[in-house]
Amino acid sequence: SVGHVVILVAMGGCWGDGYFAWEGPDTREHRPPRKPKPKPRGRRSDRPRVGLGYKGLAYDERPVVEPKPKKAKPSYPVRLKYSLKGHRGSIYAVEFDWEGDYLLSAGEDRQIILWNAKDGDMVKTYPINHSGDILCLLIAHDRKYFLSAASDGKIFMWNTVKGTVTRALMIPRFAKPNSLSWNEDESILACGTEDGQIHIWDLKSRNSKPIQSLRQASGAISSVVVDQPVIIAGSADGSARMYDVRTGKLVTRNFGGPAIGSIRVSKDKRLFLVSCLDNTIRVIDRETGDQLMSYKGHENCKYRIPSLFSNDGSLIVSGSEDGHVHFWDVVGGSLKHSIRHGNEAVLCVTLHPRTHVIATAGPKDGVIRIWE
C-alpha cells in the first residue's frame, strides 16, 4: 500500500541489543539488511467483494460491492517507531543516507554511530578521532565515505566500511563549524563557521586548506547551502547572503534583526525556507526576495533549529525548543501536527528521503527517535 511507513521505536533507558563501544574496534561489522517479509499478493480485502446472492449467476453478473474506503494514512509521521540509544550526551547531527537505509548520528560524545534505519540496529560505531563535539555530518552519495565536522576545527573524511579517517581538512583558525554543505558532485565543500566565515574547500585536490574564505558576514554563519552555482549562507547578523558564482554578484537579504537559524532551498529551487530566531519561519521568494509566508507556533529564539520542506513539498517541518516537532501546511500556514520528542529542544530533524519518516534528536538524552 502506499506510504507504508515503518516506525522505529525503542524505549528509553536500555541500549538495545548492542553494547556500546567507547573505544576500540567495532562490535559489529556491516551486515546486509534483513530480507523483507514477502508481501501478500492481493489481499482478500483488495479484491472486489461480491455481494450476497451470487450463486447461480455467471461470473460477470455477480454483484460487486465496493470495498470500504480505507482511512487515508496521514502524510506526516505520527507514531514513534524506534528509539535509538547508544550515544552518551547530546546529539548534534543526524543524517539519513541517500537511499534511506542507514542513519548516521554524532554528537557530544564525539562518536559516530551507523544505524540501520529499517530495524534500528546499531550497525557500526566509529572510533573517536575528533577532539571536540561533532557538529555536522555529510554522507556521500555512494555511501562509501562521509564527512564529520567537529568543534575542534577539523573536518574528517571517513571510510564508511573500514571506519578509518582518510583525510583531514583544517578550518582556518580552528573555528567552530556550524554547517556543512556540498554540491552534487561532492567536489566543493562549504562550511559556515562561528566566526562569520564561509570556507570553501576543493575536495578533488589534496589540499587541506580552503581555496576561498568569504568574510562578508558580521555574525556567525548558522547555515550554508551549496546550490550550484549559488552558495547561500544565513548568519546571525540577520542577513542571508547568496553568492552567485556565475555572475560574481553577492546579494544580501536583510531580515531586519533576528538571527537566522537555518536556510533551506525548496526542491524547485525557487523558494528559501528561512527559520529566524524570532519564533518565525519564513518562506522567501528567491528572485524578488519577497516574503511569501511565515509560520509561527513554535519556539525558536536561542538555538539553531533546522526547518525543512517535506519530500512532497506540502509540509514544513521544524523542531522547536519546547521539545516538539511541528508540521505546517505550506500553503495555508496553519499548524497541522506536532509530535513530542522530549523536554529539551529538538536540534536535529531529518527526513527520510523516500518515506514519511523523520528522525529527531536533541540534547542531553542522546536518544534518536524515528517516527513514521
Partner 1 sequence: RLFAFSPTLCEESTAMSLVPRDDDAPTRQIGHRATSRVKKDDSRDKDSLPWNKEVTDAQGRRRFHGAFTGGWSAGYFNTVGSKEGWKPSQFVSSRSRRADRQKVRPEDFMDAEDLAEAAQAGKTLIMQKDFQDEDMPGDKRKPAEKQFEGMLTVNSESIGRQLLRTMGWREGKQVGDQEVSKALNRKVYGVSRPPLAGGEGAGVSTSSSSAAKTPRQFDTRTGLYQTRLKSDLRGLGYSGHNDILAPPLRLGRGNSVPFGAERSSSTSGLGLGALEAAGIHDEVYSSSNMDDYDIDIDVKGGEAAARARGRRGHGDEVGHQIAALAFVRPRKAERPPEEFKEIRVPPDFTGIHRFQHDELAQTVAEDLKRIPSAQDYLRGALHQIHQRMSIADRARALGEKKLPGPPPPKVLEEKLSREMVELISEKDRQKLAASLESAFTTSGKSLKTIDTDPDAWRRQFKEDPQKQERFERFLEVMAGKPGVKVPRHKLTNWQYQREMEEFTQIFNAKFKKLQSSQNKAQSSPAVAAKLRMYGRLTRTKEPWGPDRLLCLRFGVPDPYKDRPLPSKAQNTSSQRRYQETIDILQASQRSKSKIKGPSRLSRTN
Please, are residues 328 and 315 in contact by the beta-carbon 8 Å criterion? Answer: yes
Site string for partner 1, 286-315 (x = CB under 8 A): --xxxx------------------------
Nearest distance from C-beta of residue 205 to partner 1, angstroms: 8
Q: Is 250 in the site for partner 1 (CB under 8 A)?
A: yes
Nearest distance from C-beta of residue 327 to partner 1, angstroms: 26
Say which residues have a Cβ less than 8 Å from residue 309's Cβ, sequence separation at least 6: 264, 266, 267, 273, 315, 316, 317, 330
Query: How many Cβ atoms sit within 10 Å of the Cβ of residue 106?
Result: 27
- The footprint of partner 1 on residues 175-234 (CB under 8 A) is 183, 185, 187-188, 200, 202, 204-205, 211-212, 214, 216, 228-229
Which range binds partner 1 by CB under 8 A, 57-65, 75-83, 267-275, 283-291? 283-291
Q: Given the C-alpha cell 585536490, which residue does it identify? A: 205
Residue 135 or 271 having the CB closest to partner 1? 271
Instruction: Name the 3-class secondary structure at 52.
Output: coil
Nearest distance from C-beta of residue 92 to partner 1, angstroms: 28
Give me the residues paired with residue 156 across strands: 148, 168
Which is nearest to 336 in space by CA: 344, 348, 327? 327
**In terms of residues, how long is the chain?**
372
Grid coordinates of 366: 542522546
H/E run at residue 348: strand 348-351
Classify the C-alpha dihedral 156-160-163-166 as positive or negative: negative
Residue 23 or 290 having the CB closest to partner 1? 290
Q: Is 115 in the site for partner 1 (CB under 8 A)?
A: no
Nearest distance from C-beta of residue 231 to partner 1, angstroms: 9
Q: Is 139 in the site for partner 1 (CB under 8 A)?
A: no
Q: Is 256 in the site for partner 1 (CB under 8 A)?
A: yes
Which of residues 71, 246, 268, 334 is near partner 1 by CB under 8 A? 246
Please, are residues 209 and 203 in contact by the beta-carbon 8 Å criterion? Answer: no
Binding footprint of partner 1 on the chain (CB under 8 A): 183, 185, 187-188, 200, 202, 204-205, 211-212, 214, 216, 228-229, 238-239, 243, 245-257, 288-291
